[in-house]
Chains A and B, each alone.
Chain A
Amino acid sequence: MPSQNAVNRSEREIVVETRNLSKTYRDFWGRSKKVALKPLDLEIRRGEIFGLLGPNGSGKTTTLKLLLGLIFPTSGEALVFGRDATDVSKNERIGYLPEESYLYKFLDAEETLDFYGRLFDMPPEQRKQRADALIEMVGLSRDKKRQLKEYSKGMTRRIGVAQALINDPELVLLDEPTSGLDPIGTREMKDLIIDLKKRGKTVIMSSHLLADVEDVCDRIAVLHLGELKELGRVEDLLRVTDVTQIRAKGLSTNAHEEIRALLKRHGGEEIEIGNPRTTLEDLFLEVVRDTQARPGRRARTSGISDT
C-alpha cells in the first residue's frame, strides 16, 4: 500500500460509505417488483464491528450485495475504500461470507481454498500456507480431503469462513454468520469476529438474531422493511435513561419492603424487581411497533456523529 494510505490508517478512516443508497428489484421487463432498500446513508470506520440488524426480508443481504457490487444501486452510491462498489479491484481487500456458503461442491476443502487463493493471484507457496493455516483455524484438518457435498451445515459454514479470509482481508462482510449454527458454533463464530477486530479488521455483519449482534457489535443499524430505523452504538441504543434497574442477591423480604419504601420516598414508581430481559429484543419490538404507528419514520441519518 502506498504511504499516503498509512496516514489514513487512523481510527477515523471511513472504510464503507453509502450515500442515498437504494435498491428496487425489477423483473425481466424492468417493472419494479420489490423495494428492498430505501435510501440509506451509512459510514463505517476502520476497526469497527458493524451490525445490520433486522428481521427476514428487511434488506440486510441487499445492503451487503450492494456494497460488494453484486447488484447495482437503483439510486445513490456505495463506496468501499473510497471506490465505487462495482470496482473489482476493491475485492483484493475484502472477504465475504454469503448467507449460505455458495461453493463448488465437487471440490474438497483444500482445492476450494487453493482455487480462491488463485483468484487472488497468490503464488503457490502462499496459497498452500494460507490454506493450511485457515483449515487448521476453522477446525477442518481431518476433513480437508472430503468433497464439500459431504459436509454438514456447520462444516460448510466453516469452510465458507476460511474462504472469506483467504486473502487476509481488511474488510470482512458476513451475512448471517451464525445462522444455522449450534450454540457452540455460534460462540466460536463470535469469538472469531472479535478476534478479527483485535487484528484491526473492519467487520460488517448482518443478523436477525439480536443476541449475536449485541455481544459483538460496536455499532448497529436496525433495518425494517428496507428502511433504516435506528443507528448508533449498542450501549447508547440500549440504555434506557428513565428506568433504573435493580438486581440484588440474598435480600430478605424485609429488605424488599425497605427498598420499596425508599423508592416511594424519592417519588419513584416501582415497576418490577426480577430478571432483566434482553433489552435489544425490546428495542427491536419497539421499532416494529413504531413503524406500524407512524409509517415512514426514519432514524437520524447522521448516526455516525454520536460515536
Chain B
Amino acid sequence: MVLEEEIPRFAAWIGPALLWYLFAGSLVAVLVAAVAWLVQSALYGPLAAGDRVYRGVLSGLVDLSGMSLRRIWALSRLAVQESLRRNVLVVLGIFALIVLFAGWFLDPTSVNPGKLYLGFILAATSLLVCLVTLVLSVFSLPADIRGKAIQTVTTKPVRTGEIVLGRIIGFSIVGTVLLALMGGVGWAFVVRSVRHGHEIAAEDLVEIRNDDGVSTGQEGRTSLDRGHRHRVDIATNGTGRTDTVQGHRHTVLTVKSGVQNGSSDQVTYEIGPAEGLLEARKPLRGTLRFVDREGRPSAKGISVGAEWSYRQYIEGGSLAAAIWTFGGLTEQSFPEGLPLEMIVRVFRTYKGEIERGIAGSVRVRNPSSGLQSDPFYFQAKEYTIDSLTIPRTLATTSADGGTRQIDLFADIVSNGRVEVVLQCLESAQYYGVAQADFYLRAGNGSFAFNYAKSCLGIWFSMLLVTAMGVMFSTFLSGPVALLATLSVVLLGQFREFILRLFESQVTGDTSIVPGGGPIESLYRIVTQTSITLDLDPSTTVTAMKTLDTFLLAPMRLGAALFPSLATLGTGDFVAGGFDIPVDLLAAHAMETFGYLMAFFLVGSLCLKAREVAS
C-alpha cells in the first residue's frame, strides 16, 4: 500500500494539532464575524451592525448553555422518523444488489482477490452510507423551512443548536445502522468469497530423493480451485506447505487412516484454509535514504520519468542502494530473527525473461560500526510481497576474504537500530522503492478487528458528511447545500494537488505543478502548448496567471479549512492486509470530533441568524 507520510504518534501529534485547531478556529470565527458585520452594515449601518453581531454571538453562546438532552433526543428521533419515511432502507436493497453483482464481475483469479474484494466492498459501503446521510441531511432542514414546520418548532424553547445537533445525531444514527448492516454483510461476503480449499491425492505427489536415494519428502500440485493451484512440498514428517499464489498459502497435513491388509495404509492429504489472504500485519517501519551509483549518499533515488514520484529508483549493477534504518529492536520482540517483508517495484529497461524476477540482494548493517552481513539474494517480482527472515546467526566476510559467524543482536543491532541495505544486481534494471515498502513484521492483528476499524473510518466520514450537510443546509437551499458538500468532498479528494498547484501559482515555480491553473491550462489546450513549456511573458499571460491565482485562492482556502474525507479512509490498510495503527485512528477520531464541533457551531449560529419564517 502507499503511505505518503509517516504516521505520527498520537501523543506527539495531538499537541500541535490542538494548537492549530484553536488558531484556525479563532481565525475563522473572526472572519465570519467580520463578514456578518459587513453584511449587516450594508443594511443597518456600521454601529447598529456591530451591536447586532455582538448580541447575536452573545445570545448564541447563552443558547448553547441552555441545551437540553431531551430536546436534542426528540429532534434526533424526528430525524430518524423522517429518514424512515423517506425510505432510506431501500439503500440496503441497492447494497445487496451491488454485492450480488460483485460476486459476478470481480475476478476471483486476480493477483490478490482479498485485496480486490475488500477494496470494493469497503468503497461501496463508504459511498452508499455517506451518500444516503448526505442527501438526508442536506434536504431535511430546507424542507422544514419551506414547509414551515420549523416555525412550530422554533416557537418552542428550542435552541438552534439543538435543531442542528438533533439532525446530525438523527441522521448519523441512520448512517450508523446502515453502516453496521452493510459492514456485516460485506464482511460475510468477503470472507465467503475468498474462502476456498484445494485437494491433492496421493497419486499427484512424487517422492523426492537425494543423491543417496533417501526420500526427503514429496512434491506435487493441488487441484485447480478459484482459478489457481499451488505447488506442494511435504516433508518426511508428513506436514507441508504450499507455495504462495494470489497472496496466500495453505498448510498440508498427511492423514493416515485404517490399517487394512497389513501394510497398505489409506493415505489422504488435507489442505488447510488459505493463510495470508485476510490479514492485519503490524509493520515496524523505518526511515529510508539512498546511495547513488557512485556510492555517495543522496537524498533521492532516480526518477524514471512517467512514474509518480512516490517511489524512488535505484540502478542495478552499481553501488546504488536503498537503506532503511529500523529502530527500537529488542531481542525479546524478535527472538527468531528479523521478519523482513519487502515490496519492490521493478522497472525494466529491457524485458529479459519476464517470468523470472530481477535479482537483488539485502544485507543488514550495524549503523554505528558499519559491520555488515553477507547478502541474502532474492528475486523481485511486481505486485508480490517478498518475505525474508534475517536469522539470528549471520555470516560476514571480511576484507581479507575470511568468513565468520556473527550474532544479529550482539553484533549488528546497535542501540536497537539496524540498517537494511537493498541493491539491485542486474545492470540496466531498476528497483523502485518507497519508505513504506520495507518493514519488519512485528506482529499480527486480528483481521476482523481491523475490518471493524476500517468501518470506524467510514463512520468518521459519514459523521463529517452529515454534519457538513446539515451545516450547509442552515443557510443554503437543499440542492445548493448538496452541491456545496459535494464540492468540499471533491476538494478533499484533490487537496494535495490544490495545495501544490496554488504554491506553484504563487511562487511562479512551474516545476511544482507544470501547466498552471484552470485558465492557463485551457489556453494551453487551445493553443496546443506543452505543459512543460514556459509561456512567453506578455500582458495576456500575466492577466491569465493573475486570474488563475484568484480562482485558485478560494479552493486553497477551502482545502485548508475543510476536512479531507480521502485521508480518513483506511480501506487501503485493510485491503493491503495491514493493521490500521491505533495512533492513526485516534488522530482521525480527534480530527472528526474537531470538525464536528466546528460544523455544529457554525450551523447553529447560521440558523440563529436566519429568519426561518420569511
Contact = CB atoms under 8 A, between A and B. Distances in A.
Nearest to A75: B44
A37 to B, nearest CB: 12
Contact of A30 (B43, B59, B149, B612): B43
A163 B151 CA distance: 12
Contacts of A68: 155
Nearest to B39: A30
Given A88-B157, A88-B159, A91-B156, A119 B71 contact: yes
Contact of A121 (B39, B71, B77, B85): B71
A119 B59 contact: no
A86 B78 contact: no
Nearest to A123: B70
A106 B81 contact: yes
Interface stretch (A46-54, A92-100, A224-232, A298-306): A92-100
Interface string B68-89: 1011011101100110010000
Contacts of B81: 104, 106-107
A259 interface: no
B539 interface: no
A163 B68 CA distance: 20
A102 B59 contact: no
B613 A91 contact: no
B82 A106 contact: yes
Interface in A46-89: 65, 68-72, 86-89
A79 to B, nearest CB: 15
A26 B149 contact: no
B156 A116 contact: yes
Interface in A1-52: 25-26, 30
A55 B338 CA distance: 89
Contacts of A101: 152
Interface string A151-168: 000000000000100010
A65 B59 CA distance: 19
Interface string A161-184: 001000100000000000000000
A202 B306 CA distance: 79
Contacts of B149: 102-104
A289 interface: no
B58 to A, nearest CB: 11
Interface in A110-156: 115-116, 118-121
Contacts of B612: 70
Interface string B588-614: 000000000000000000000001111
A120 B152 contact: no
Interface centre among A96, A116, A119, A121 (most CB of B within 10 A): A119
Interface centre among B66, B73, B82, B154 (most CB of A within 10 A): B154
B611 A70 contact: yes
Nearest to B75: A119
Contact of B158 (A88, A100, A106): A88
B155 A102 contact: no
Contact of A98 (B42, B85, B152): B152
A118 B71 contact: yes
B59 A86 contact: yes
Contacts of A26: 43
Nearest to A89: B157
Contacts of B43: 26, 30
Contact residue range for chain B? 20 to 34
Given A30-B43, A86-B59, A88-B63, A70 B151 contact: yes
B108 to A, nearest CB: 45
Given A98-B148, A106-B81, A119 B156 contact: yes
Nearest to A97: B152
Contact residue range for chain A? 20 to 34
Interface in B220-278: none
Interface in B115-154: 147-154
A103 B614 contact: no
B329 to A, nearest CB: 59
B596 to A, nearest CB: 23
Contact of A91 (B39, B155, B614): B155
B70 A121 contact: yes
Interface in B47-71: 59, 63, 66, 68, 70-71
A30 B331 CA distance: 73
Contacts of B75: 119
A286 to B, nearest CB: 32
Given A71-B611, A88-B63, A96 B148 contact: no
Interface centre among A101, A104, A167 (most CB of B within 10 A): A104
A96 B152 contact: yes
B613 A71 contact: yes
Contacts of B613: 65, 70-71
A101 B152 CA distance: 8
Contacts of A106: 81-82, 85
Interface string B4-42: 000000000000000000000000000000000001001
A130 to B, nearest CB: 14
Contacts of A65: 151, 613-614
A101 to B, nearest CB: 8
Contacts of B66: 88-89
Given A70-B613, A87-B59, A98 B74 contact: no
B472 to A, nearest CB: 16
A287 B475 CA distance: 41
A278 to B, nearest CB: 33
A118 B73 contact: yes
A213 B614 CA distance: 26
Contacts of A30: 39, 42-43
Contacts of B85: 106
B142 to A, nearest CB: 15
Contacts of B78: 104, 115
Contacts of A88: 63, 66, 157-159
23 contacts: A25-B614, A65-B151, A65-B613, A69-B154, A70-B613, A70-B614, A87-B59, A88-B63, A91-B157, A94-B155, A96-B151, A96-B155, A101-B152, A102-B147, A102-B149, A103-B152, A104-B78, A107-B81, A115-B78, A120-B157, A121-B68, A121-B70, A121-B157
Given A65-B151, A104-B82, 9 more contacts: A65-B613, A69-B155, A88-B63, A88-B66, A89-B66, A89-B157, A118-B70, A119-B71, A119-B156
Lowest 3 CB-CB distances: which A-B pairs, in order?
A118-B74, A70-B613, A102-B148
